[in-house]
Amino acid sequence: MKFNMDASLGFILNRTAIATKMGFNQGIKSYGISPEQWSVIFRVVEKDGISQKELADSTYKDQGNLTRMIDKLVAKDYLYRKLDEVDRRAVGLFASDKAKSLVVDVIPISNRYNEKLTKDFSDDEKLKLIELLNKVYNNIQKD
């Protein structure tokens, strides 16, 4: 049996994802949110009135975990729910002013962190990395 864990793409991607999340968490911990909460807040600010299903799809989060996260973000006054006036069964998620202010503060932190992650990369290498990682993701989705 021959296998090199340190050359395994899955192992390398997981190791990188964990380190990336931990590093970004350090950058935003003073705001009292996690990287997962940041992605949810950002998406809602980006698209006020987003449905929970659309939010789950755009943040790659499980519906059950997302519901609990939204509940916490509502309790922290970052988000609020509002019934759709046309379809009373539908609920939209909206960003509070606190969330909008947070996004203004955290975007530069996120941009600096992304620059740190690719500091020795050329612009072409950055684009190629994103392209290749999306290709890996798409390969996974085809199964």
Domains of the chain with CATH codes: 5-141 (1.10.10.10)
Whether 70 shows a pLDDT value over 90: the answer reads: yes
Whether 108 shows a pLDDT value over 80: the answer reads: yes
Residues near 65 by beta carbon (within 8 Å), at least 6 away in sequence: none
Whether 106 shows a pLDDT value over 90: the answer reads: yes
Q: What is the model's pLDDT at position 35? A: 95
- Kindly state the average pLDDT of the residues 73-94: 88
Give the pLDDT band (50/70/90) at residue 38: very high
Main-chain dihedrals φ then ψ at residue 33, nearest 5 degrees: -130, 160
Q: What is the model's pLDDT at position 84? A: 76
